[in-house]
Structure 1
Amino acid sequence: MASRKETLVRRASRVRRQLKKVANGRARLSVHRTSKNIYAQIIDDVAGRTLAAASTLDTGLKSSLKTGADVAAAAAVGKLVAERAAAAGVKTVVFDRGAFLYHGRVKALAEAAREGGLEF
C-alpha cells in the first residue's frame, strides 16, 4: 500500500498534468497549505519563474491575523495574491490546488482571489 506522501505526490502530479492540457500559456495559481500556514504563488511555467506570491507569513499580513491556519487567513492571502498579480500584469490564471481538495481554506483562497480580480 502506498504511503500518504506517495499518494499526495501522485494526486498533485495528476492535477498538474490536467492543468497543462488546459492552460494554453496562462500562468498557474499554485496553493500549498500546512497545518499552520497557507501559501499561494502565481507561476509562469513557460519562463519558469514566479510572478507573484503571498502567504500568511508576510509581515503586513501576519500581524493582522489571529492565526495562519483558518479560512479568514486563506481569504486574506487570496486577496493579497490577486493584488500582487494585478501589479505584475496577470489577469487570467489556472488554479492548481495541488494534492489538496477544493474545500475549506483552499476554496476560501480561490474565491477571495476571484473577488480580487483574478479570472479562472
Structure 2
Amino acid sequence: MILKKKSIIRKKIFGFLEKPRVSIFRSNKHIYAQVIDDYKGNTLISASSKKLLKFYKNRREKKITKKELSYKIGNLLGNIIKSYGITQILFDRNGYIYHGRVKALAKGLRNVGLQF
C-alpha cells in the first residue's frame, strides 16, 4: 500500500537546488530525514534520530519521547538548511499520514522559518 502511494507522490514532487525535497523515512524506533536535489540526484543533507539519540544517551538526561526527538531532528535539519541560504522546501512525507512524528518533524522545520 505504501509503495503505491510513494510512486504516485514521487511523480508529483520534484525538488531542485533552490527548493529541495525533504524526504522522511519512519521506522518503528527512529525517524530519518534527507534533503534531496532531484535534478542532480544528490542527497545534500541528512539527519536521523539514531545519531541524535547517541548524544542524549551520553549526557544521561531524562528519557526523550519519539515525538520530541522528531521535533528536535526537524529543528536541527532546518537550521542546517537555513545556513545554506534555502528558505523554501518541498515536504515529502513519503506516504505517511501527517500525524505524530511526521507532524512533529514538520513543526520543527517550520519553527526555524522554512516554508512549504
- TM over 0.5: same fold? yes
Residue 64 of structure 1, aligned match among 27, 42, 56: 56
Q: Which residue pairs with 1:78 in the alignment?
A: 74
Q: Secondary structure at the match of 2:95?
A: coil
- Letter of the 1:71 counterpart: K
**What is the CA-CA distance between 1:79 and the residue it aligns to?**
0.4
Q: Does 1:87 align with 2:106?
A: no
Question: How far apart, CA to CA, are the structure 2 residues paired with 1:88 and 1:55?
Answer: 19
Q: Would you identify which runs of 4 or more consecutive aligned residues in structure 1 move more than 3 Å?
A: none
Q: Tell me, which stretches of 5 or more residues in structure 1 are unaligned?
A: 1-6
Aligned counterpart in structure 2 of residue 30 of structure 1, from 11, 23, 48: 23
Look up the SS of the partner of 2:40 in the other structure.
coil
Normalising by structure 2, we get a TM-score of 0.84
C-alpha distance in structure 2 between counterparts of 1:17 and 1:111, whole Å: 25
1:105 Cα deviation from its structure 2 partner: 0.4
Q: Name 2:10's counterpart in structure 1.
A: 16
TM-score by length of 1: 0.81
CA contact (8 A) 1:52 1:88 kept: no
5+ long unaligned stretches in structure 2: 58-62
State the identity as a percent: 36
One-letter amino acid of the structure 2 residue matched with residue 51 of structure 1? L
Does the 8 Å CA contact 1:51/1:85 hold for their aligned counterparts?
Answer: no
The Cα shift of 1:104 comes to 0.7
